[in-house]
Chains A and B, each alone.
Chain A
Amino acid sequence: MSSSSQAIVVCRQVSKRYRKGEIPVDALKRVDLTLNPGQLIAASGPSGSGKSTLLNLIGLLDQPSTGTIELFGQRSEVLKRKERQALRRKYLGFIFQNFNLLPVLNAVENVELSLYGHPLSKDQIRNQALAMLQQVGLLNRAYHYPKELSGGQQQRVGIARALVHKPKLVMADEPTANLDTGSATEIISLMRNLSHEIGTTFLVSTHDPRLIKNMDREVTLTDGVLLS
């Protein structure tokens, strides 16, 4: 565990217990973790080790059973539903394993989604979304629908969507799991470059060694326990 006065996320003794029928499952056990700005951090570990749970808790999609998470100076457990949403909208970005693009929206419209709720005009929203697509190399596919894009292209749209509003922290859950090696390499490189350009922290859940070796830092989980 490392600590810093400028930490964007501080987890203290965070545990998460689920119930699978009658059986309680401890997905995370007393995790202490601090994330600093501008880092690429890999949360590695085997399947079921608690990587995704950790991302979900830090991403305010779920709440810890015990312990506290401080996100950008705010204690997550005291936040109301709308405040959590507002915090996600302002500070967080999400990249999903299955891309999760809206099939009825084209690439640029999918990217624009992250800008709604921000004080921007319609033109500003469109221009920023197109600029972001250019950064991920998909400007020529801006008006294509997800079904017209390859897996790698869809994930690049997903990355553009996660970064267009310049979040401080991006949660990426197995972003290369559904991609071939070529696409995975492109995505890893893209995330690394954008992280450095925009200054965003990436917390990436993965057990892909290609991804891990490109990260600034690795935290390893096993059976819900943070090892490093």
Chain B
Amino acid sequence: MIWLTLAWRNFIRNTRKSYFTLLIIVVGTVACAIGLAYISATFMLVKEGTIRGGVGHLQIASSDWFDGHEESTLEHGLAPELTRRIEKFSDEHPDIKLAMPRIRFQGLISHGDTSLVFIGDAVKAKLERQLSQSFVSTVEGQGLEYLTPEQVYYVVIGSELARLLGVSPGDDITLMAVTVHGGINAVDATVSGISSSGNPDIDKMQLYAPLELAQSLLLTNKVSKFVLFLQEPHAIPDVQAALTADFPQLAVRTWQQLSPFYEQMVALYSRQFIVFGIIIGMVVALTTGNAMLMNLFDRKQELATMSSMGLPEAGIRISYLFESALLGISAGAIGLVLSVAVCELINLASITMPPPPGRSEGYTLMVLFDVGPSLLLWAGVILLCVIAAAFATNRINKLQLVEAING
């Protein structure tokens, strides 16, 4: 007990050096916590962006559709009977919020003398809108979700495609594609709106159309796949298992399987943060170690006195380790409290970041203070302080008692 008393009393008899050490650990903790908050926010945004941006939680389609190549249009599409069964299953399953059929198709879009290649997504826009408020972000005109059920022959096209074609909302275009029977078919449609994904390469080819328009163009009742959006993400494994059991002829993929980019990004950011954390950790460890060495030097007369009295070195060491742990506990706590405040300020400030590579639009910087990783960070700071002190206390048994006793 005396060792803990000694540690506490020495800790609170703070000198300027101790305050400086505390400050460095606080700054290190804040830097790491904000780094973690930024990464957490990025992971969350990318995850939500991926799921709500169209991938959904689960997708169900023919495995050949996921992995293979279609020799003919909708070769691996889902027939109407299968489509109805999937819709019925989705309606009855309590964990499934939305089941959205989609057709992926391609062809030529013409306006006047200009014809260009498009890649189209045919959707039930009103359902898609429930998945994401930002579904097909239109910069001109209006989105497909505002169309009445009778307004089938309307499309939304990418901003670059619209510019190249020279069309604006209200203009007529013609879509041409290869049908499921191998022939060529064409339909006329009206540009309802112009969209922007933020990626010019995508906007150069993107086209959105009502599902009925695509089926009319391709002369089929099939769809490519179903995108499922669940009530809660934790239900993904259960719903996937239930779908696999009910539809063994189909493949059910999770959003992670469909977006390897997310896992790659997590791996990349995590490694970057580990390197960053190691650098900060070394600064904290060296500073703490140095501070504890200075403490040992400053208190060598006290140490030598205790040693001359035959007090066990283990106790003296424990006292130092505990004192260093107290330093880590308090500096970590101050650092985390400050981090929460800084995170709030950053979010309130609505800082606009420049567009990432390959994008044309910037985004608002957001940080997400995550309690779990932050508590781990706190534990790490305490551990570092204790390890640094453990190295410093190796000097105790090298102390020259006679010299140290006299100060």
Where the two chains meet, the residues of A that have a C-beta atom closer than 8 Å to any C-beta of B are 56, 59, 61-62, 81, 85-90, 92, 94, 96-98, 100, 102-105, 109, 112-114, 116-117, 122, 161
Contact = CB atoms under 8 A, between A and B. Distances in A.
Interface in B284-307: 301-302, 305-307
B311 A116 contact: yes
B402 A116 contact: no
A10 B315 CA distance: 32
A86 B310 contact: yes
A122 to B, nearest CB: 7
A89 B405 contact: no
Closest 5 pairs (CB-CB, A-B): A89-B310, A104-B9, A88-B310, A100-B305, A61-B401
A88 B13 contact: no
Contacts of B406: 97-98
A81 B312 CA distance: 11
Nearest to A89: B310
B5 interface: yes
B352 interface: no
Interface string B310-338: 11110100000000000000000000000
A114 to B, nearest CB: 6
B376 interface: no
Nearest to B9: A104
B297 to A, nearest CB: 16
Contact of A87 (B302, B310, B315): B310
Contacts of B401: 56, 61-62
Contacts of B312: 85, 116-117
B306 A113 contact: yes
Interface of B: 1-2, 5-6, 9-10, 13, 301-302, 305-313, 315, 397, 401-402, 405-407
Nearest to A94: B308
Contact of A113 (B1, B2, B301, B407): B2
Nearest to B306: A113
Contacts of A81: 397
A223 to B, nearest CB: 19
A113 to B, nearest CB: 6
Contacts of A88: 308-310
A116 B308 contact: no
A51 to B, nearest CB: 13
A160 to B, nearest CB: 13
A116 B1 CA distance: 10
Contacts of B6: 102, 104-105
Contacts of A113: 2, 306, 309, 311
Contacts of A109: 2, 5
A85 B6 CA distance: 20
A56 B305 CA distance: 13
B403 to A, nearest CB: 10
B407 A90 contact: no
Given A85-B310, A94-B309, A98-B407, 6 more contacts: A85-B307, A92-B310, A94-B305, A100-B405, A102-B306, A105-B6
A89 B309 contact: yes
A86 B310 CA distance: 6
Contacts of A97: 406
25 contacts: A56-B402, A59-B308, A62-B402, A85-B312, A86-B310, A87-B310, A88-B310, A90-B310, A92-B310, A94-B305, A94-B308, A98-B406, A100-B305, A102-B302, A102-B305, A102-B306, A104-B6, A104-B9, A104-B10, A104-B13, A109-B2, A109-B5, A113-B306, A114-B309, A117-B312
A32 B206 CA distance: 103
Contacts of A104: 6, 9-10, 13
Contacts of B402: 56, 61-62
A125 B2 CA distance: 11
Contacts of A114: 309
B305 A96 contact: yes
The residue in B308, B313, B397 that gathers the most chain A C-beta atoms within 10 A of its C-beta is B308
A81 B314 CA distance: 13
A173 B308 CA distance: 13
B244 to A, nearest CB: 66
Nearest to A56: B402
The residue in A56, A88, A97, A104 that gathers the most chain B C-beta atoms within 10 A of its C-beta is A104
The residue in B2, B5, B315 that gathers the most chain A C-beta atoms within 10 A of its C-beta is B2
B301 A122 contact: no
A100 B301 contact: yes
A136 B333 CA distance: 45
A89 to B, nearest CB: 3
A109 B402 CA distance: 24
A59 B307 CA distance: 12
B311 A89 contact: yes
A98 B405 CA distance: 9
A178 B10 CA distance: 26
